[in-house]
Structure 1
């Protein structure tokens, strides 16, 4: 037979407090409750690139964030625009 008692525990979690665009340096600081923060981070896009063996960047992993303005500037420089791009 097992007896249990209730124990109050404190859990430490990482909570997003700000995002900075790697290109222009624009920073957005988050305020409010979690559900309010979720839509706020849509102003930035996160990128995660894993380069394979033999690549110019052999087995490197790059992670960065771009604000919408810098992302648009990048896409505008493309010869072939991404599918779904509407500008």
Structure 2
């Protein structure tokens, strides 16, 4: 027969309470977006510098809020791959328009998607 005793165990655990954007300094607390999901709408980045770089073997990690991430992407000259789900040559037009207005031009977007689908056939 096994004999047991009851014992209280305490455990230390890290609990995510907020994220601070390394660029603008705003701190955001997680908000519930689904029954089980809490989100801060901040994105973590890591840069692993390659051999030959002046920062060789360094790894920089930082968090950027959604607003700063969007502003950063708006500085790009070339459309990011899979911007708004498309990889066609029309994507650059959609991207350039989005950078100016902050809105996806639906007509350009759908033409971009159709062009992408036609190339796949």
In 1, the alpha carbon distance for the partners of 2:80 and 2:5 equals: 57
Equivalent residue number for residue 83 of structure 2? 85
- SS of the counterpart of 1:52? coil
Q: Which has the higher contact order (CA 8 A, sep 6+)?
A: 1
Equivalent residue number for residue 39 of structure 1? 38
> By how many angstroms is 1:71 displaced?
0.3
Over aligned residues, Cα RMSD in angstroms?
A: 2.4
In 2, the alpha carbon distance for the partners of 1:2 and 1:11 equals: 26
Equivalent residue number for residue 23 of structure 1? 23
Deviations 1:43-80 (CA, angstroms, capped at 9, x unpaired): 10000111123213111110101111110011010111
The answer (yes or no) to whether the contact 2:30–2:38 under 8 Å persists in 1 is no
- SS of the counterpart of 2:38? helix
**Number of equivalenced pairs:** 83
Whether 1:52 and 2:64 are equivalent positions in the alignment is no
In 2, the alpha carbon distance for the partners of 1:70 and 1:16 equals: 21
In the alignment, structure 2 segments of 5+ residues that lack a partner are 85-97, 99-121
> By how many angstroms is 1:12 displaced?
0.4
Residues 4/48 of structure 1: CA separation in 2 closer, same or farther (3 Å cut): farther
TM normalised by structure 2 equals 0.57
